[in-house]
Amino acid sequence: MGDWWFFMNKALSAAAALVVVIIVFLVWNGTGGQSTTPAADGGPMVTDGSGTDTPVDPLAPVAISQSEGDDPDEIVVTDPIPADNRVLGEPFVASLASLVKDELDSGLGWRPNDLFLIGPGWWTDNVNNKQLGKLEVARQTCRILKTRMSRSNDADAFDPRIENAESALFNDATRYMLPSAEKKYREGVKSLEAYQAALRDGTAVFHARSNNLYDLLGYYKDVLGSCQAMLVRQREPDGSPVSTFRADDYFYYSRGVAEAVATMGRAVTQDFREELETRNLMGLMNQALVSLEAAAALEPWVVTNGAPDGILANHRLNLSGYVADARQKLHSVRETLKK
């Protein structure tokens, strides 16, 4: 009897210790978001890389990306290409590559294909869903770059570097090996960097025309609309209520989409500046980006799925407000471009 009780006591102690370790791991890694705080006026704040929180300037030509310093989950304000050393298309291509490269190089790297604890469907799936949201935007943006910005007209051949990048980015995000998702995505980043280098030496083109911007913003409006539908959904397609776990997935996927569209939107304000300023659209475009940056800054400790009139917050509805505002403003920009 004594030996049996001693064994049970040790087993229970070990189980309790394991639970504590898992909880600490979840708190530390679970959100996978960027470190942001609200400004005094309610606007988003970002860390500038030196540890100082500063407000996001809606008119500044910057992009949001992850730090490569000690804290891989920290948001920093970066300008992909210095203003006095850029050619047309460089900010756009550099920002597109950064959507994937930052996730590959941050923290534990690409998470959706990991097998133990942090893989798909496991407890720390917040980062996974955020990365999948950013990947979706990167894939479709690369496709639009291939079919629109890099060609003078529909009869022109596709740029092989962008074709390679698109093919690589559309590989299975959960593939562990033969080849792994990381391997293919790094190939895609290298192809985009090769195209960027070609822009600098004049052997590639980037057409910043209003019709190309119209198509690009059309996709961003649609993907934000899909996210908005997920964020306000009360029941799944099979009629069952949205569970807390699914609400968590919807929240972080949509947050990843918002962050990616904000990053690309800042690049758009640089490369399509003439088109936007000619039609007096720069202010409206920046208002949309401020809403997306505020969405990217939402980082609750725990995503709750409370009723709209309940005590608990409904973080999906909180996020949907920013997404809906940005989507409506992008729609207005497109309508003006069409005229």
Tens digit of pLDDT for each residue in 148-190?
Answer: 999 988 889 999 999 999 999 999 998 888 889 999 999 999 9
Q: Which amino acid is at 274?
A: E
> What integer pLDDT is reported at residue 79 of this predicted model?
53
pLDDT > 80? residue 276: yes
Output the pLDDT for position 207. 96
Give the mean pLDDT of the chain. 80
What is the model's pLDDT at position 296?
Answer: 95
Q: What pLDDT band is residue 84 in, cutting at 50, 70 and 90? A: low
pLDDT tens sequence across 35-59: 333 343 344 443 344 444 444 343 3
Assign 69 a pLDDT band (cuts: 50, 70, 90).
Answer: very low
- Structure confidence at residue 308 (pLDDT): 77
Give a three-class secondary structure readout of the chain.
CHHHHHHHHHHHHHHHHHHHHHHHHHHHHCCCCCCCCECCCCCEEEECCCCCEEECCCCCCCEEEECCCCCCCCEEEECCCCHHHCCCCHHHHHHHHHHHHHHHHCCCCCCCCCCCCCCCCCCCHHHHHHHHHHHHHHHHHHHHHHHHHCCCCCCCCCCHHHHHHHHHHCCCCCCCCCCCHHHHHHHHHHHHHHHHHHHHHCCCCCCCCHHHHHHHHHHHHHHHHHHHHHHHCCECCCCCECCHHHHHHHHHHHHHHHHHHHHHHHHHHHHCHHHHHHCCCHHHHHHHHHHHHHHHHCCCCCCCECCCCCCCCEHHHHHHHHHHHHHHHHHHHHHHHHC
Q: What is the distance between the alpha carbons of residues 317 and 219, in angstroms, rounded to a whole number?
A: 22
Mean pLDDT of 25-33: 42
pLDDT higher than 90, residue 114: no
Strands 53-55 and 63-66: unpaired
Q: Cis link prior to 179 (omega < 30° from 0)? A: yes
Q: What is the pLDDT of residue 285?
A: 97
Residue listed under structure tokens 């006095």 = 84
Amino acid at site 181: A
Residue 15 has pLDDT above 70, yes or no: no
Residue 33's pLDDT band, with cuts at 50, 70 and 90, is very low
Task: Please list, in sequence order, all residues whose beta carbon lies within 8 angstroms of the beta carbon of residue 15, skipping any fewer than 6 positions away.
Answer: none
Q: pLDDT digit string (tens) for 284-330?
A: 999 999 999 999 999 998 898 888 787 888 899 999 999 999 999 99
Nearest to 131 by CA among 5, 276, 34: 34
pLDDT value of residue 174: 87
